Amino acid sequence: MTIELIETRASDLHKLQIGANRICDCPPNHLNCMTPKEWMKSQIGVWQFNYERRDVRDRKIHPATFPISLARKVIELFTHKGELVLDPFVGSGTTLVAAGDCERNAVGFDLKDEYITSSNNRLSKLLPPEKVQQLAICDDARNIPHYLEENSVSLIFTSPPYANLLNRKRLNKSRRGDERKNGQYLKVEQYSQDVRDLGTLSLESYASEMAGIFAGLLPIMRTRAHCVINVPDMWWEDKRITIHMALVDSLRQVGYELRNIIIWDRTNIVNRIGIFGWPRNYITMGTTFEYLLDFWKPSTV
Ligand SMILES: C[S@@+](CC[C@H](N)C(=O)[O-])C[C@H]1O[C@@H](n2cnc3c(N)ncnc32)[C@H](O)[C@@H]1O
């Protein structure tokens, strides 16, 4: 009994002091602060975004970022002002910047120190926080439950590593002629070779590690809190690697319910395309769309 008490206190010491409650005056049963008109526009299941000046598009800073406008849309759809957003694989901090823009508390984790520095640089350019804060923490996503209170997170939004599919030499097949041999040609764009990095794992081990990590996050989520995961599928040696299906299976296995699959249509931001598969194999270009897998924590968990 005494030992249990001491352990509880010790783990409480590590809990982050960060707000998680609404600062708006929306009716309690509303999912977000949207007007009916804004809600109606969001019902379209195919989304497009443009980059803005603050977006990180330099692959040397981070090889796999999403636009701030994408993170903002997900945050505005699934949270109220003041609520807590979590990004377990925060990279260059895009989710945190979007959370700052729309007055949400947010915390993001990444294994790599340099990405946390880049997140903090971006956060330092936001208006000084008044009622909400955004934090970037260098740690393994497996440790997140130690940092956050139970039932505190209203949204998880993230783009995780894509198993080990970036952990190989880039052939730039999407470019033509000399363009193929640009700065990324034959580069390995994997984030790190740290054994804890999910980008070093085969698809099978990745799916099982992701199941473990997301099972660990369920207790810190509020009931019916959404968890939105952005991933593409990829092609490797003429085989489609269905990362999105592996993730749906993994999260369902541990108790998440899949609510929606939204397509992020990237055709407006992809400018140079080569020819794939012609004349025998029809292959949709992976760079033209990605999946946004929208799960929630059901009330039965
Ligand atoms: C696709 S990127 C996220 C990019 C981010 N959405 C952005 O806009 O910058 C995935 C990130 O997961 C991180 N990562 C890989 N394994 C991790 C782990 N076990 N714990 C925390 N972060 C990890 C990588 O360092 C990488 O930055």
CA of 142 to the centre of ligand 1 (A): 12
Overall average pLDDT of the 133-162 stretch: 97
CATH code of 60's domain: 3.40.50.150
| Highest-confidence segment of 5-14, 79-88, 179-188, 265-274 | 79-88
DSSP string, 62-115: -SS---HHHHHHHHHHH--TT-EEEETT-TTTHHHHHHHHTT-EEEEEES-HHH
Sequence-separated contacts (24+) of 196-201 with Cβ below 8 Å: 196/111, 196/140, 196/142, 197/111, 197/161, 198/89, 198/141, 198/160, 198/161, 198/163, 199/161, 199/162, 199/163, 199/164, 199/166, 199/167, 200/164, 200/167, 201/163, 201/164
**Ligand 1 atom at minimum distance from 191 CA:** 25
Overall average pLDDT of the 165-177 stretch: 60
pLDDT at 135: 97
Give the DSSP letter of residue 125: T
Q: Is the pLDDT of residue 2 over 50?
A: no
Number of domains in the chain: 1
What does pLDDT average to over the chain? Answer: 89
Overall average pLDDT of the 59-83 stretch: 95
pLDDT at 130: 83
Overall average pLDDT of the 225-253 stretch: 94
CA of 213 to the centre of ligand 1 (A): 13
Residue 262 pairs with which residues in a beta bridge?
Answer: 292
Asked whether residue 2 is domain-assigned, the answer is no
Q: Is the pLDDT of residue 178 over 70?
A: no
pLDDT at 177: 58
Residue of 109, 120, 138, 191 with the most ligand 1 atoms within 8 Å of its CB, for mutation: 191
pLDDT at 188: 55
Give the DSSP letter of residue 179: G
296 near 259, Cβ under 8 Å? yes
CA of 40 to the centre of ligand 1 (A): 32
Asked whether residue 73 is domain-assigned, the answer is yes
> For ligand 1, which residues put their CB under 6 angstroms from it?
62, 64-66, 89, 91-92, 94, 109-112, 115, 140-141, 159-161, 191, 196-199
- Name the closest-CA residue to atom 12, ligand 1: 89
The residue range of the domain holding 132 is: 45-296
Asked whether residue 63 is domain-assigned, the answer is yes
Residue of 147, 198, 213, 292 with the most ligand 1 atoms within 8 Å of its CB, for mutation: 198
pLDDT at 181: 55
21-32 per-position pLDDT tens digit: 999 999 999 999
pLDDT at 72: 98
pLDDT at 275: 80
pLDDT at 168: 63
**Ligand 1 atom at minimum distance from 158 CA:** 6
Asked whether residue 267 is domain-assigned, the answer is yes
Q: Is the pLDDT of residue 212 over 50?
A: yes
**Ligand 1 atom at minimum distance from 160 CA:** 10
Residue of 75, 111, 158 with the most ligand 1 atoms within 8 Å of its CB, for mutation: 111
pLDDT at 14: 72
